[in-house]
Amino acid sequence: MHSSLTDHARCLYGDEYRAASPRCSADHDERYFIEKLTFADAESILAMLHELCPQIVDGLLPVWVRNLAYRLALLQRPDDPVLMREAAQNLWLHGPDWDGIAAELTNRADALETRSTP
């Protein structure tokens, strides 16, 4: 068993910034990782993304895992403009299919920041 979502992702997909380690045999079916991701808190999801993909454009996580991770984090933090912009940047870098969603997230972030500015 893995001690964190990050460890599980690293074991399953690898880590561009660490030497390869032997894969454990415990829970290597991708569905176990996706189940763990689905019910993870936003902090754990973002820790995984930031550690395994620190420059957004890098890392070995599949794009679909990144998109799902950002979506799940945004569902938990729907009013976080910083997270919206980060998710939008990820979508733009791995688009163009998601450019409309990225623009919408950026517009929502702008609106939230405008409302919170006196």
- Phi/psi at 75 (5° precision): -65, -30
Mean pLDDT of 48-68: 93
What is the pTM for the complete model shown? 0.90
Q: How many CB atoms lie within 10 A of CB 90?
A: 22
Q: Which of 4-18, 22-36, 70-84 has the lowest mean pLDDT?
A: 22-36
Mean pLDDT value of segment 72-85: 97
Please give the helix or strand (H or E) that residue 82 lies within, else none: helix 81-93
Q: Where are the domains of the chain?
A: 5-116
What's the number of CA atoms in the CB half-sphere (13 Å) around residue 71? Answer: 12
pLDDT at 27: 60
For residues 16-45, give the mean pLDDT.
Answer: 84
pLDDT at 111: 95
